[in-house]
Structure 1
Amino acid sequence: MSYESKHTFASLPQMERGVSKVLGRDPKGNNFLYANGKTVIIRNIDNPSIADIYTEHAQQVTVACYAPSGFYIASGDVSGKIRIWDTTQKEHLLKYEYQPFSGKIRDIAWTEDSKRMAVVGEGREKFGAVFLWDSGSSVGELAGHSKSINSVDLKPSRPYRLISGSDDMTVAFSEGPPFKFKFTLKDHTRFVNCVRFSPDGNRFAAAGADGLIIICDGKTGEKISALGGEKAHNGGVYAVSWSPDSSQLISASGDKTVKLWDVSTGTAVTTFNMGNDVMDQQLGCLWQKDHLISVSLSGNINYLDKNNPDKPLRVIKGHSKSVHCVTVHKIDGKSIIFSASHDGHINILSFVLTHLLGLPNGKGHTNQVNKMVVDQAGQLVSCGMDDTVRFTDTQTKEYSASDVVKMDAQPKCVSIAPGGLTLVVCIDLVVLLKDKKKVFTLEKLDYEPETGAIHPGGTTAAVGGADGKVRLYSVQGNSLKEEGRTLEATGRVTAMAFSHDGAHLAVTDEKKVLRIFTVADDYAIKDDFYGHHAKIVSVAWAPDNEHLATSGMDMMVYIWTISDSDKRLKIPDAHRLHHVTSLAWVDDHTLVTSSYDACVKQWTIMY
């Protein structure tokens, strides 16, 4: 048995209101970069479904920047660590690691020869540093600011110049190397969010929370003009990015627009209206080759269209928060992956096309989605921490206000069976639904229910408890009747699933054991499977009913063979930084996994 990582549905940038998001530019023009949690996402700009993930930071990553050579990336985190790593190898080997100051890093810049770096942020003793990339030796100092520095850039041609923008509402101009502070520009009346030199080095732009974009001479630092006169935007400007020929730039603003400017005349050529919702605020932008990209507060990545400023060419959607569950369903013969996250978002992913098809329309879950399954009618049945169970049509992909069942307690798990049956395990309650309506409730239980599964034949419901027991209930019409029979697990039950043919019941627990019961043999124990080093959290049967997958808090995924307990496959560090929260099979040889890294991965399994 062997496995291969086939595809990664990458996370979106992790956004924070009022904080600019730096997008890293690939000097070779192929990729762009951004950070989410402890990861750096490297995404192909022409085909953003192609993505790579760097996972070696121990703290939350804030910014990542390519060296002008294209061979290395420098990434910084909230602790003040800078890691410089290789882009040419799949392993992304670490070249150097530095800690220029203690505190959150906000921006990174390189000189055009890829030999010197400037790093700025929220240091305790100092707010920035300039050093040689291969030794860490200082090549000057970043002075002139009294508060944390938000942005930095280095002139891409000699003589070198350094500019930095700060919360103290000033832009500092330095000459070097070694870099020495010369003077400050005090045109802004609020925080300076972004400073960027033009590619030819003749000018630089400084953008602030006051809506101003100042254009200055790249060599002397003298102010030339202000784009748009008094104000470039009606809201704060969070990012600017120059065109490759240095004649134009784009700016991203909290007023929910991106503007394309002719720098010589100081006028806006095009205004891209990105929406009316607060989540449509624009916090980052990038001009790379012919692509104009912006990032919304929602995390959506927008490919802007100069010919149609009110409608982007494409919008890359996905998850920016931890993904808690996945399930797979065939629509018109094509396998579709549904994934749901901590913020209640459900995404619809194409297995064949390996990109996001969209989200259900309308108002859905308002909190974390705990579990999802698709029933025989093609409805996505989902339960969440908003105390609801929702039935969403997978064809129309629209949330229905009428197909919502309010629970009296928080639902943990849903399971479905033919005939419109849905078993919902809640905190201290077990509820049976039929045709989207409550028909029976088990309450005042003498145990704490954790998870449940209903037999594919619709005859039996199994409920696993915190006491390490699985209770069997017979489904009789619109009610559940306790059979007086309990199955023993080795610890608190964490996940359960009947095989698709109904022959076996798989039960996992916090004691790291997978136990298989044979249904036809009066639920006799068939086998126990061991291998996980920590609590098992998810289990899923392959369509062949011969193999099943489990995931644990140990970040491992195991593929087990029912007929041979010694025949197993281990996928270590499936999601590197976090445990795998959920599993689903597309077919006998394709597994889908989700995790707190906000990514969904697709694996090919060979037997």
Structure 2
Amino acid sequence: MSYELKKIFASLPQVERGVSKVLGGDPKGNNFLYTNGKSVIIRNIDNPAIADIYTEHAHQVIVAKYAPSGFYIASGDVSGKIRIWDTTQKEHLLKYEYQPFSGKVKDIAWTEDSKRLAIVGEGREKFGAVILWDTGSSVGEVAGHNKIINSVDIKQTRPYRLVTGSDDNCAAFFEGPPFKFKFTLTGHSRFVNCVRFSPDGNRYASAGADGQIFLYDGKTGEQITALGGEKAHDGGIYAVSWSPDSTQLLSASGDKKVKIWDVGSNSVVTTFNMGSDVMDQQLGCLWQKNHLLSVSLSGYINYLDKNNPNRPLRTIKGHSKSIQSLTVHKSDGRSYIYSGSHDGHINIWDAETGENDDFSGKGHSNLVSRMVVDESSNLVTCSMDDTVRYTSLSKKEYSASDLVKMDVQPKCVAVGPRGYALAVCIGQVVLLKDKKKCFTMDNLGYEPEAGAIHPGGTTVVVGDNAGKVHLYSIQGNTLKEDGKTIEAKGAVTDMAYSNDGAFLAVSDAQKVITVFTVADGYAEKNVFYGHHAKVVCLAWSPDNEHFASGGMDMMVFIWTASDADKRLKMPDAHRLHHVSGLAWLDEHTIVTASHDCSVKQWTVKF
């Protein structure tokens, strides 16, 4: 048995309101970079479905930047650690690791010879450092600020100059190397969020929370002009990015607009209106070759269209918060993956191309804990907002009427034939038929954790936190207790019937999975050991002979129902994060999701 990673559907940038998001671009113009949690995501700019994830930081990563040579990436995290790692090898080998200061790294800049790095942020003793990339020794001092430094850039032509922007409303200008403080620029009346040199080094721009952009001479540091006069934008400006030919500047603002400026004539060439919702605030931008990218507060990445400023060429959607649930569905010969995250967002992925979208309308307002597709092609989801929703996969929009309000929070939802569904809630089990509640059981005498409906549609099983599985039969619109329980090894975390209904697999908090044979009165068939931590999700292969399990130990196992020793171990399926969802696209393809906000497809050979 062997496995291979086939595709990665990457997470979106992790964004925070009022904080600029730095995007990195590679010098060849093929890829762009951003961070989410402990991951650095590298995406192909022409086809963003091609992605790679670097997961070696132990803490949340804030910024990543390519060296001008294109061979290395430097990334910095909240603890003040800088890692410099290889971009050419799949393994991304670590070249150097430094700790220039203790505290959050907010921005990084390289000199054009890829030999020196400037690092700024919120240190305890100092707010910045300039170091040699191969020894970590200092080549100058970043002084002149008394608050957090948000942004740094280095002129890419000699003589070198360095500029910083800070929460003390000032920008500072340095000459070097070794870099020495020359003077402070006090034009802004609010935080300076971004400073960037033009590629030819003749000018640099500073953008602030006061909605102003100032242009300066790149060599002397003297102010030339203010773009747009009094105000460049009606809101705070979070990022600027120069065109490759240094004649134009892209700016992204909290006023939900992105603008292209002609620097020579000090005029706006194009204004992109990104929407009217608070989630349409623009927190980052990047001008890479012919591509203009911006990042919204929703985390969405917009490819801007100069010819149609009111509608992006494409918008990359996905998750910026941890994924909690996952399912798959085939329609018209195409396979789709559905994933639900911590913030209630549900994403639709085309399994083949990685193209993605979401449902229109208002959906869940809180964590989506479980999702399944019923026989009428509805996505049935339960959420911590105390609802169970039915969403038509063909219409792709949330329906206000197909919403079932629960008395208490649902933990798990399962579907069966003839319109039946089962919601397992805190202290309560609810049977639904045709999108309506038809039977509720309270005072159970146990705490239910998970449930499943037999594919034949006659039996319901509910697992509890004491390691027992209770059997009920469906009789019309009621559930009748069978008076029989089966024993698991620990508190039940998930359960799943094989597609043909022959077996029931039960996973538990004691790291064990037990498979029962339905026809033999649920006699124990096999017990499966291998996980190092609680098993959280299960999924049967279409062949009914294999099933997969995912756990808190970041591992996925593929098991053979008839032989507990025939197994395939996939360690570090999602590094640093536990596996939260599993599903089979076909007999040889498994999909996994995790708290790292990404979805992965694996090819499995038996």
TM over 0.5: yes
| Counterpart for residue 313 of structure 1 | 313
Matched position secondary structure for 1:275:
coil
Cα deviation code 1:110-163 (max 9, x no counterpart): 100000110000011000001101001111100111111000000101100010
Residue type matched to 1:59 in 2?
A: H
Identity, % of aligned positions: 73
- C-alpha separation between the residues in 2 aligned to 1:278 and 1:250? 21
Cα deviation code 1:47-88 (max 9, x no counterpart): 000000000000000000000000000000001000000001
The answer to whether structure 1 residue 253 and structure 2 residue 253 are counterparts is yes
| Counterpart for residue 569 of structure 2 | 570
- C-alpha separation between the residues in 2 aligned to 1:258 and 1:221? 26
Residue type matched to 1:82 in 2?
A: I
The answer to whether structure 1 residue 507 and structure 2 residue 514 are counterparts is no
Residue type matched to 1:67 in 2?
A: A
Matched position secondary structure for 1:324:
strand
Residue type matched to 1:120 in 2?
A: V
- C-alpha separation between the residues in 2 aligned to 1:164 and 1:82? 18
| Counterpart for residue 598 of structure 2 | 599
- TM-score, L = length of structure 2: 1.00
How many residue pairs were aligned? 606
Pairs within 5 Å for 1:134-213: 134-213=134-213
Q: Is the 8 A contact 1:103 1:122 kept in 2?
A: yes
- C-alpha separation between the residues in 1 aligned to 2:383 and 2:100? 43
The answer to whether structure 1 residue 427 and structure 2 residue 426 are counterparts is yes
Matched position secondary structure for 2:532:
coil
Unaligned runs of 5+ in 2: none
Matched position secondary structure for 2:279:
helix
The answer to whether structure 1 residue 342 and structure 2 residue 342 are counterparts is yes
Cα deviation code 1:252-310 (max 9, x no counterpart): 00000000000011111000000000000000000000000000010000000000000
The answer to whether structure 1 residue 355 and structure 2 residue 363 are counterparts is no
- C-alpha separation between the residues in 2 aligned to 1:359 and 1:177? 50
Pairs within 5 Å for 1:183-582: 183-356=183-356, 358-582=357-581
- C-alpha separation between the residues in 2 aligned to 1:334 and 1:59? 38
Query: Post-superposition shift, 1:502?
Result: 0.5
- C-alpha separation between the residues in 2 aligned to 1:415 and 1:277? 35
Cα deviation code 1:392-432 (max 9, x no counterpart): 00001111000000000100111111110001100000000
| Counterpart for residue 11 of structure 2 | 11
Q: Is the 8 A contact 1:106 1:149 kept in 2?
A: yes
The answer to whether structure 1 residue 44 and structure 2 residue 44 are counterparts is yes
Residue type matched to 1:14 in 2?
A: Q
| Counterpart for residue 123 of structure 1 | 123
Pairs within 5 Å for 1:71-82: 71-82=71-82
- C-alpha separation between the residues in 2 aligned to 1:163 and 1:106? 14
Off by >3 Å, runs of 4+ in structure 1 = none
Q: Is the 8 A contact 1:156 1:201 kept in 2?
A: yes
Query: Post-superposition shift, 1:355?
Result: 2.2
Cα deviation code 1:29-57 (max 9, x no counterpart): 11000000000000000100000000000
Query: Post-superposition shift, 1:354?
Result: 2.0
Residue type matched to 1:300 in 2?
A: Y
- TM-score, L = length of structure 1: 0.99
Cα deviation code 1:479-499 (max 9, x no counterpart): 011101000001101110011
Unaligned runs of 5+ in 1: none
Measured on the aligned residues, the alpha-carbon RMSD in Å equals: 0.6
- C-alpha separation between the residues in 1 aligned to 2:135 and 2:288? 31
Query: Post-superposition shift, 1:457?
Result: 0.6
Q: Is the 8 A contact 2:372 2:381 kept in 1?
A: yes
- C-alpha separation between the residues in 1 aligned to 2:400 and 2:119? 50
- C-alpha separation between the residues in 2 aligned to 1:509 and 1:171? 56
- C-alpha separation between the residues in 2 aligned to 1:19 and 1:268? 24
Matched position secondary structure for 1:104:
strand
Residue type matched to 2:174 in 1?
A: S
| Counterpart for residue 2 of structure 1 | 2
- C-alpha separation between the residues in 2 aligned to 1:64 and 1:26? 11
- C-alpha separation between the residues in 2 aligned to 1:507 and 1:214? 63
Matched position secondary structure for 1:569:
strand
Residue type matched to 2:419 in 1?
A: G
- C-alpha separation between the residues in 1 aligned to 2:564 and 2:236? 61
Q: Is the 8 A contact 2:526 2:562 kept in 1?
A: no
Cα deviation code 1:209-231 (max 9, x no counterpart): 00110000000000011110111
- C-alpha separation between the residues in 1 aligned to 2:422 and 2:122? 51
Matched position secondary structure for 1:447:
coil
Cα deviation code 1:334-390 (max 9, x no counterpart): 11111000000010000122221x111111100000100000111100000000000
